[in-house]
Structure 1
Amino acid sequence: MLREIGISADSRIAERFRGGFVREFESEASCIAELYLFLIRDKVKTDKTRKVLLFFTDLQTGPPPEVRPIRCLWPFDFSDYIAADAREKKQRVLDALHAGMLWLAENCGWAPQPLEDAYVEAVARDLTLKASLKKTWPSPDRRYRVRVDFRFDIDAVYLDAVLTKYHGSQEVARLKLGKARPYRGCMFDYGAEGEWTAPTVFELRSTSFIKEKWTVDFSNAIAGDAYGSQNDAR
């Protein structure tokens, strides 16, 4: 099964597209790569291929002469991409990624239907991955849990901390944690470590080299929930 999809810009374009464009493009394109991977996960049998890396280039107009999933050069118009707005940028990346994946599927013997389904679903989701981290963190008194919801967009990954009852999924409060830089596989870093640093304070920590952290205080929500529970008991 496929476990990773990466999109990069051909490094040879760096002389024409300066100012860190190659790195910026890879960051922006990661939102589509992660969405597409999310939608096809465990649905495409790829034999021994676990990773696909597409390198977009404007130095060719058609598929590459060799079938190499780990380094597949794929045609892309960077000038049109730069001129597009955020929504259109994501659409252009999705179209190119999808075309490349279908070409690989045809030449590698992978089933194309899960890819077609993923494309339709990606458009239905407005080209944005919204999901929750698998891990949750129980509060010190075991009355609540925190889960982290995220929206993986072209400019940032937006993080919310959601307070729920310990038993069940009843939402008590939702607070904005903050935002983080998007890149391929970043949710493994952003979702690796979390901790209640006080009875009402939760902190999410990144394991990337930047070592970011985001903190929320649920004191008002917890106090309000306790007050409501007391009234319900009367």
Structure 2
Amino acid sequence: MNLHEIKLSAQFVFNKQKDFNTETWAVSELYWSFLKKYNTSKVKKCVISASEDWVEGQQKYTNWEDLKEVNISFDFTKYFLLDKQGKKRMQLEAIHNGMMQIAEHEKWEKQPLIDAYKQCLEKNLEYQFFVGTPKLSPDKKHKINFWCNWDIDVFEVYSILSDKNNNEIERKKIIEKSPYDGEFIYYVKWKWLDHTKVLLEDKYKYGNNEKWEIEIKP
């Protein structure tokens, strides 16, 4: 079984806990995106719990069959003084540190984690990707695809209209949400309604069943 989710979250209540937890989705998802084939046996989710105030049991380890959780120290005062790129780098270090600890405990292979860390840096900590493959219009003149920009402060989806030879004609933002609302993007489906309209649908079982109709004006 492969890993489904990696989560970095602040534990214990402090005045910026919600702000921090909202910002950690993008880098966690980027790191996970390089580990889709990582063999974790029955483990589906790994949680890295961050706090400045761990005292007793700082290295406490939660060992459920399908979930592993490790506690790490995190300097939130320093974090909230950083710019966006600095925050992303600090998140990556925390995620990687936590995952390496879990791998050590579970006797998992560590090299894929090291490779994922390096690939995140090669991507400049930007999680941007095409959602699927382009679909040809009924009149066979155009193709439509969707492109996602998942950042620590915004989640965006753009429609990408191309000609039949894959030359981009138009890139248009159609969705903007909070970073914690982006997981549905892995489950969207879309189809041409006719040669001038495309329907994009949220098929995530925990989603809001939203639909977006995109009008094509070549």
- TM-score, length-scaled by structure 2: 0.82
Residue 170 of structure 1 corresponds to 166
Indicate the residue corresponding to 1:6 in structure 2. 7
In structure 2, what residue type is equivalent to 1:29? T
Query: Which of residues 170, 178, 181 in structure 2 aligns to 1:181?
Result: 178
Pairing of 1:210-221 with structure 2 (within 5 A):
211=210, 213=212, 216-219=214-217
Letter in 1 for 2:208: F
Q: 1:133 aligns with which of 120, 131, 141?
A: 131
Unaligned runs of 5+ in 1: 223-234
Q: How many residues align?
A: 209
Aligned-residue offset at 1:72: 2.4
After superposing the two structures, state which structure 1 stretch, 198-207 or 140-149, moved more.
198-207
Q: 1:199 to 1:47 in 2, by over 3 A?
A: same
Q: Structure 2: which amino acid aligns with 1:154? A: I
Distance in 2 between residues matched to 1:27 and 1:217, nearest whole Å = 32
Query: Any conservation in 1 of the 2:157–2:173 contact (CA below 8 Å)?
Result: yes
Are 1:154 and 2:163 an aligned pair? Answer: no
1:27 equivalent in structure 2: 22
More strand by share: 2
Name the structure 1 match of 2:200: 204
Secondary structure at 2:108's aligned position in 1? coil
CA positional deviation for 1:165 = 4.6
Which secondary structure does the structure 1 equivalent of 2:34 belong to?
Answer: helix
Q: Are the counterparts in 2 of residues 133 and 191 from structure 1 also a CA contact under 8 Å?
A: no
State the match for 2:46 in structure 1: 52
Between structures 1 and 2, the one with greater helix share: 1
1:144 is aligned to: 142
1:226 equivalent in structure 2: none
1:137 Cα deviation after fit = 4.4
Alpha-carbon distance, 1:171 to partner: 2.7
Q: Tell me, which stretches of 5 or more residues in structure 2 are unaligned?
A: none
1:175–1:216 Cα contact (<8 Å) kept: no
Query: Which residue pairs with 2:34 in the alignment?
Result: 39
Q: 5 Å matches for 1:42-121?
A: 42=37, 44-60=38-54, 64-66=59-61, 68=63, 69-121=67-119
Match of 2:190 among 191, 194, 197: 194
Using a 3 Å threshold, how does the CA distance of structure 1 residues 57 and 212 change in structure 2: closer, same or farther? farther
| Correspondence for 2:120 | 122
Deviates more, 1:127-136 or 1:153-162: 127-136
Alignment CA distance shift 1:25-1:211 (3 Å): farther
User: What letter matches 1:40 in structure 2?
Assistant: L
User: What TM-score do the two structures reach when normalised by structure 1?
Assistant: 0.77
Letter in 2 for 1:183: Y
Mean Cα deviation higher: 192-201 or 127-136? 192-201
Once the two structures are superposed, residues 103-129 of structure 1 have per-residue CA deviations (whole angstroms, 9 ceiling, x without a partner) of 111111111111111111101111011
Larger Rg: 1
RMSD (CA atoms) = 2.6
